């Protein structure tokens, strides 16, 4: 039996035969006994300590490790201690210690960090959820039908916590299966329809993401008889009002829509029976100031008056104010962090590409198309106007391209998402609207045509590729205008073992106020148009004019100019490219 099997037995509550332990005990020497006494004391004191923090390196703290080392190596200490009355270590204590070590190992291997009191052990199989938490056979069957053979790290740790009915704040990389991590325990908890009204609400920032969660929830709740409702603007409001909503168990929507229904006279929605409130993309929905999501969420929170209400906050990224809010407001909160907080998923190869100027972007993307792009490709721009402009340009290049932004009708948005999912659209131009949560299977490449407004936005945008264990690539264009966030994003790339020029990493750190300002104020950019490529020289003049005051202000920018001249050469080369009127596009269809 290897250590893993032992762990499985322990976590399933199996007891070991006492015989082998007695045999081991008979062979122990004095030093071992001392160590055991120490270990037992450590476990007991650890258990007694009401520690707020438990991490994946849980076990001995460095001080304890040092102390324990001295026990074994310091002869004087051994002599001193061997005079102390010996304490026999019980079988239970041994098991507890072994269990603790295995838990630590599993968390370390899966980069799971936990914070909070009494955090249960992570599970390593979905079967464990049945054995230890009574997860239903139906749900296990539905997970198997979805071809999920084993839990992802966030599912390993967050599912047991939610199955225990805890308030949870969880963060894990993009595309790592957070949706199932919260849906499965809630479906399991609700079990069957109760006809009292909504007992769970899931909120997501965009209609597209809410619709995606709804589809996943319907699949996972298959044959449970639970009724799930997706509320969008176009849906009939009568579905949620009066007795009509009693037939539903789970509501999935955006905060804006839910608040709208709550604020009708009389209210078109009642949330008094809600036991679970899930806030997906929680850092966005809970952040004060930048958008009005927090106000909407506050109204919803106030409407969920059931004392049994639990909150689950999930996201790939977290901001300090949101974490502080959760710690202050959620009793017995358990926090789970997979990987490093606010880092990019390591399944995406990331590249920064200096394109000189706005016209250089169009040349660069055409160059990429000419060399052969592997669809599906997502292209992010900073505004709907720019999405329309780029669409007009690429449309005449003969690419199967479409665009999605907030101004398009719901029908157009739905059709566009469907066509992209089904492979009819190869290149989808989008705004920040599609930056978070959307799970397009097998996106091969994300192009940040316009530089992301923040590091957080960058992490979410590039996370549209490299999902569910697949690999992906992300290319981020930048010009001289994009220096404020360049260094921070370069650091994210470096952390994921990507290559970034040293001079970018050496650039001066931007003031927080400047970065904050950029989050809500996209830089003014020249329009995306072929006309510009005919006026490349004029464009270059503009770029130089714009960059002079910057160069004066910052030494780092001067260095930037010098070092980036090589990159400019490669852009010049591609400037020979004219917008392709021919249909000789090298898109390799998968």
Q: With respect to ligand ATP, which residue has the nearer C-beta, 177 or 185?
A: 177
Q: How many helices (H) and strands (E) does the chain have?
A: 26, 14
Which part of the chain contacts ligand ATP (CB under 6 A), choosing from 13-21, 358-366, 444-452, 460-468? Answer: 460-468
Total of residues contacting ligand ATP (CB under 6 A): 18
Minimum distance from residue 440 beta carbon to ligand ATP (Å): 9
**Cβ-contact 279, 311 below 8 angstroms:** yes
Q: Cβ closer to ligand ATP: 316 or 490?
A: 316
List the structure tokens of 351: 């590249």
Two tokens at 334?
């358990």
Binding mask 188-227 for ligand ATP (x = CB under 6 A): ----------------------------------------
- Report how far residue 564's alpha carbon sits from residue 580's, in angstroms, rounded to the nearest whole number: 28
Among 468, 505, 506, 569, binds ligand ATP (CB under 6 A): 468
Work out whether 94 is an interface residue with ligand ATP (CB under 6 A). no
Give the residue with the Cβ less far from ligand ATP, 270 or 467: 467
CB contact set of 369 (below 8 Å; sequence gap of 6+): 394, 397, 399, 580, 585, 586, 587
Q: Which segment (158-166, 167-175, 382-390, 479-487) binds ligand ATP by CB under 6 A?
A: 167-175
CA count, 13 A, side-chain hemisphere, 536:
17
- Please identify which residue in 176, 479, 557, 564 interacts with ligand ATP, judged by CB under 6 A: 176
Give the nearest distance from C-beta 430 to ligand ATP in angstroms.
Answer: 14
- The residue from 38, 94, 107, 178 that contacts ligand ATP (CB under 6 A) is 178
CB nearer to ligand ATP: give 126 or 198: 126
Rounded Cα distance, 8 and 13, in Å: 9
Residue 325: Cβ within 10 Å count: 18
Residue 174 interacts with ligand ATP (CB under 6 A)? Answer: yes
Cα gap 280→202, rounded to integer Å = 7
Which residue's CB is nearer to ligand ATP, number 309 or number 470?
A: 470
Among 180, 258, 311, 528, binds ligand ATP (CB under 6 A): 180
Q: Is 439 in the site for ligand ATP (CB under 6 A)?
A: yes
Residue 175 lies near ligand ATP (rule: CB under 6 A): yes
Q: Does 179 bind ligand ATP (CB under 6 A)?
A: yes
For the chain, state the CA radius of gyration: 28
Pick 255 or 437: Cβ nearer ligand ATP: 437
**Which of residues 437 and 472 has its CB atom nearest to ligand ATP in the complex?**
437
Which of 463, 466, 472, 484 is close enough to bind ligand ATP by CB under 6 A?
Answer: 463
Q: What are phi and psi of 114, to 5 degrees?
A: -125, 150
Across-strand partners of 312?
168, 278
User: From the centroid of its chain, how far is CA 311?
Assistant: 17
User: Which stretches does DSSP call E strand in 148-306?
Assistant: 168-171, 200-203, 228-231, 250-253, 276-280
Under 8 Å CB-to-CB from 329, ≥6 apart: which residues? none
Nearest approach, Cβ of residue 362 and ligand ATP (Å)? 29
Could you tell me whether strands 427-430 and 377-380 are parallel, antiparallel, or unpaired per DSSP bridges? parallel
Query: What is the rounded distance in angstroms from the CA atom of residue 473 to the CA atom of residue 461?
Result: 11
Instruction: Look up residue 125 and give its two tokens.
Output: 């199989």
Give residue for tokens 């999902």. 467
Strands (E), 168-272: 168-171, 200-203, 228-231, 250-253
Among 148, 519, 530, 579, binds ligand ATP (CB under 6 A): 148
Asked whether 275 and 197 are in contact (CB, 8 A), the reply is no
* Residues between 303 and 322 with contacts to ligand ATP, criterion CB under 6 A: 316
Q: Which is nearer to ligand ATP, 147 or 411 (CB)?
A: 147
Q: Which of 113, 152, 157, 171 binds ligand ATP (CB under 6 A)?
A: 152
Q: Tell me how far apart the alpha carbons of residues 571 and 543 are, in angstroms, rounded to a whole number.
A: 15
- For residue 361, what are its two tokens? 């972007």
Q: Does 569 bind ligand ATP (CB under 6 A)?
A: no
Judged by beta carbon, residue 176 or residue 533, the one nearer ligand ATP is: 176
**CB of residue 149 to ligand ATP, shortest distance in Å:** 7
Burial 116-140, CB ≥16 within 10 A → b, else e: beebbbbbbebebbbebbebbebbb
Shortest CB 307 distance to ligand ATP, Å: 29
Q: Which is nearer to ligand ATP, 152 or 254 (CB)?
A: 152
CB of 179 to ligand ATP, least distance (A): 3
160 touches ligand ATP by CB under 6 A: no
Q: Closest distance between ligand ATP and the C-beta of residue 183, in Å?
A: 9
- What does the binding site for ligand ATP look like in residue numbers (CB under 6 A)? 148, 151-152, 155, 172, 174-180, 316, 437, 439, 463, 467-468
């Amino acid at each position: 039996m290897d250590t893993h099997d032992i762990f499985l037995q322990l976590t399933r509550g199996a007891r070991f035969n006492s015989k082998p332990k007695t045999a081991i005990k008979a062979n122990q020497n004095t030093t071992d006994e001392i160590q055991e006494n120490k270990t037992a004391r450590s476990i007991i004191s650890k258990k007694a300590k009401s520690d707020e923090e438990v991490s994946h390196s849980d076990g001995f703290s460095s001080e304890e490790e040092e102390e324990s080392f001295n026990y074994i190596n310091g002869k004087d200490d051994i002599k001193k201690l061997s005079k102390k009355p010996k304490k026999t270590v019980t079988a239970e204590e041994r098991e507890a210690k072994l269990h603790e070590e295995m838990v630590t190992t599993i968390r370390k291997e899966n980069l799971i960090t936990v914070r909070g009191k009494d955090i249960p052990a992570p599970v390593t199989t979905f079967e464990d959820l049945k054995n230890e938490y009574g997860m239903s056979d139906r749900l296990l069957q539905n997970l198997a039908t979805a071809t999920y053979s084993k839990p992802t790290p966030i599912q390993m740790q967050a599912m047991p916590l939610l199955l225990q009915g805890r308030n949870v704040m969880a963060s894990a990389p993009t595309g790592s299966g957070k949706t199932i991590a919260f849906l499965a325990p809630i479906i399991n908890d609700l079990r069957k329809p109760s006809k009292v009204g909504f007992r769970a609400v899931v909120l997501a920032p965009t209609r597209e993401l809410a619709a995606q969660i709804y589809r996943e929830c319907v699949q996972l709740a298959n044959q449970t008889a639970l009724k799930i409702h997706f509320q969008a603007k176009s849906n009939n409001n009568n579905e949620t009002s009066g007795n009509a909503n009693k037939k539903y168990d789970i509501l999935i929507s955006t905060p804006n829509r839910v608040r709208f229904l709550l604020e009708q006279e009389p209210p078109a929605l009642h949330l008094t029976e809600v036991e679970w409130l899930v806030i997906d993309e929680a850092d966005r929905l809970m952040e004060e100031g930048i958008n009005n999501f927090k106000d909407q969420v506050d109204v919803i929170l106030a409407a969920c008056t059931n004392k049994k209400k639990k909150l689950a906050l999930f996201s790939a990224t977290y901001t300090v104010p949101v974490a502080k809010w959760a710690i202050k407001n959620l009793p017995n909160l358990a926090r789970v962090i997979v990987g490093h907080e606010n880092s990019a998923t390591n399944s995406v190869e990331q590249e920064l590409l200096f394109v000189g100027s706005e016209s250089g972007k169009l040349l660069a993307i055409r160059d990429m198309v000419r060399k052969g792009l592997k669809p599906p490709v997502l292209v992010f721009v900073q505004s709907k106007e720019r999405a329309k402009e780029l669409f007009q340009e690429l449309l005449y290049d003969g690419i199967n391209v479409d665009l999605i932004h907030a101004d398009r009708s719901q029908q157009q948005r739905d059709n566009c998402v469907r066509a992209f999912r089904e492979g009819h659209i190869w290149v989808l131009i989008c705004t920040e609207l599609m930056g978070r949560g959307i799970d397009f299977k097998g996106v091969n490449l994300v192009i940040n045509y316009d530089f992301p407004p923040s590091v957080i936005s960058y992490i979410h945008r590039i996370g549209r590729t490299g999902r569910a264990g697949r690999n992906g690539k992300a290319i981020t264009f930048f010009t001289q205008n994009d220096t404020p966030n360049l260094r921070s994003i370069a650091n994210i790339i470096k952390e994921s073992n990507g290559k970034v020029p040293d001079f970018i990493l050496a650039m001066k750190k931007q003031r927080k106020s400047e970065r904050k300002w950029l989050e809500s104020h996209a830089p003014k950019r020249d329009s995306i148009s072929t006309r510009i490529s005919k006026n490349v020289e004029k464009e270059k003049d503009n770029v130089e004019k714009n960059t002079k005051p910057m160069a004066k202000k910052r030494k780092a920018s001067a260095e930037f100019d010098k070092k980036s001249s090589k990159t400019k050469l490669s852009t010049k080369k591609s400037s020979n490219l004219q917008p392709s009127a021919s249909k000789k596009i090298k898109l390799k269809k998968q």
